[in-house]
Amino acid sequence: MALARLGKVVPKTSILFLCDMQEKFRPTIAHFPQIVAVAARMLQVAQLLEIPVVVTEQYPQGLGPTVPELGAEGLRKFPKTCFSMLVPEVEQELGALPHLRSVLLCGIEAQACIMSTALDALERGLDVHVVADACSSRSQVDRLAALSRLRQSGAFITTSEGLILQLVRDAAHPCFRQIQKVIKDPAPDSGLVSLFPGQSSGFS
């Protein structure tokens, strides 16, 4: 069975996508501080493991810059107006990564830019891992429905810590102690448990 169908991830064939975590969304997105904090963890780990990173901004003239607490100040920002992150400039970045297999996806909003990005990446034959505790929406109904829809379409719905530990794979990894410091405390609660009562979970 192909590794892509198993959902295994390795740093050298992965890329981290950070989608539209901008100032104007701060008051409207549910659990925004927690979502950004978890995405910041993913960014720290990506930098430690030398995983390429793409950061987009939706109409930055109106929606403002990427929030500073994400920790992406030194990274190029790709402006866009379409919902998918796969604008031509980002496609060029992907084209420079011939061994790319996996997109690790964080950001907002789940039913809009996360959905469009994931579907476009899946259509290109890439393995998409949606970091559920690093994605949200204004409406939690939209967030829940989007996670379920993405899973139906073939994306892997995961958590930040689960994905980080898959990437590092071994406590003997030279970066493990640094990564251990990043995940020492549990990821902040972004309301996922309340979305999934009983057996109606998008993870089941």
4 within a domain of the structure (yes/no): no
40 within a domain of the structure (yes/no): yes
Q: Could you read off the pLDDT of 104-160 as tens digits, one per residue?
A: 999 999 999 999 999 999 999 999 999 999 999 999 999 999 999 999 999 999 999
- Among residues 80, 120, 127, 133, the one annotated as catalytic is 80
155 within a domain of the structure (yes/no): yes
Q: Could you read off the pLDDT of 163-203 as tens digits, one per residue?
A: 999 999 999 999 999 999 999 999 999 998 887 665 444 55
109 within a domain of the structure (yes/no): yes
pTM above 0.85, yes or no: yes
Instruction: Please name the helix (run of DSSP H) or strand (run of DSSP E) that holds residue 37, with its range, or none.
Output: helix 32-48
- State how far the Cα of 129 lies from the Cα of 122, in Å rounded to an integer: 10
Our answer to whether residue 77 is catalytic in this structure is no
Name the residue range of residue 95's domain. 11-183
> DSSP states of 96-148 as a string?
T-TT--EEEEEEE-IIIIIHHHHHHHHHTT-EEEEEEEEEE-SSHHHHHHHHH
192 within a domain of the structure (yes/no): no
Whose CA is closest to 13, among 23, 22, 24, 4? Answer: 4
92 within a domain of the structure (yes/no): yes
- State how far the Cα of 96 lies from the Cα of 94, in Å rounded to an integer: 5
- State how far the Cα of 55 lies from the Cα of 82, in Å rounded to an integer: 14
191 within a domain of the structure (yes/no): no
Which region holds residue 154: left if phi is over 0, alpha if psi is between -120 and 50, else beta?
left
> Residue 93 is part of a domain; what is its CATH number?
3.40.50.850
Bridge partners of 57, per DSSP, are 79
What is the torsion angle, in degrees rounded to the nearest 10, for the CA atoms of residue 99, residue 105, residue 110 and residue 115?
A: 0
- State how far the Cα of 119 lies from the Cα of 125, in Å rounded to an integer: 10
Q: Could you read off the pLDDT of 27-54 as tens digits, one per residue?
A: 999 999 999 999 999 999 999 999 999 9
204: Cβ contacts below 8 Å, ≥ 6 apart? none
Our answer to whether residue 113 is catalytic in this structure is yes
- Among residues 19, 20, 106, 135, the one annotated as catalytic is 20
189 within a domain of the structure (yes/no): no
Quote the number of domains for the chain.
1
Our answer to whether residue 133 is catalytic in this structure is no
- Among residues 12, 24, 106, 113, the one annotated as catalytic is 113
Q: What is the pLDDT of residue 198?
A: 56
Assess whether pLDDT exceeds 90 at residue 102. yes
